[in-house]
Amino acid sequence: MQNLGQYDTAMYYYQESNLIAKQLGDQFLLAKNMLNMGNIYDLQGDFEKSIAHYLSSLEICQKENIKMGAFFNYINLGDLDRKKETLRKQFPIT
């Protein structure tokens, strides 16, 4: 898959979709969007925002019993933790 780097455009559409999901009360779509927004922040290297979005998505998934969504959030949170540990080892604070 080609990375076009159009993160701002993607984020705009996810935010618009979130508004619609909230109006409809569609928790599955909201959780999915938060997961995808977390992925964008991850690709941009903004791990704190990524974690916040994954945790928001995970909270919805747990509340609504969306097991596959919870699974993907746990995977992504684990990957981020691994990335952060790698960065700590490469650039130790002295």
Q: What is the CATH number of the domain that holds 60?
A: 1.25.40.10
Among candidate residues 81, 35, 28, the one with its CA nearest the CA of residue 54: 35
Q: Within a domain: residue 25?
A: yes
Q: Within a domain: residue 3?
A: no
Q: Which long-range contacts (CB under 8 A, 24 or more apart) does 60-68 make?
A: 60/27, 60/30, 60/31, 60/34, 61/31, 63/27, 64/27, 64/28, 64/31, 66/27, 66/28, 66/31
Would you state the pLDDT for residue 93? 63
Q: Within a domain: residue 56?
A: yes
Q: Within a domain: residue 74?
A: yes
pLDDT tens by residue, 63-93:
999 999 999 999 999 999 888 777 667 667 6
Token pair of 6 as six digits? 């159009």
61 pLDDT band, cuts 50/70/90, is very high
Read off φ and ψ for residue 74, nearest 5 degrees. Answer: -65, -40
Give how many domains the chain has, as a whole number.
1
Helix axes 47-64, 67-90, angle to 10 degrees: 160
Would you state the pLDDT for residue 1? 47
Q: Within a domain: residue 13?
A: yes
Q: Within a domain: residue 20?
A: yes
Is 55 strand, coil or helix? helix
Domain extent for 24 = 8-90
pLDDT tens by residue, 1-55:
456 679 999 999 999 999 999 999 999 999 999 999 999 999 999 999 999 999 9
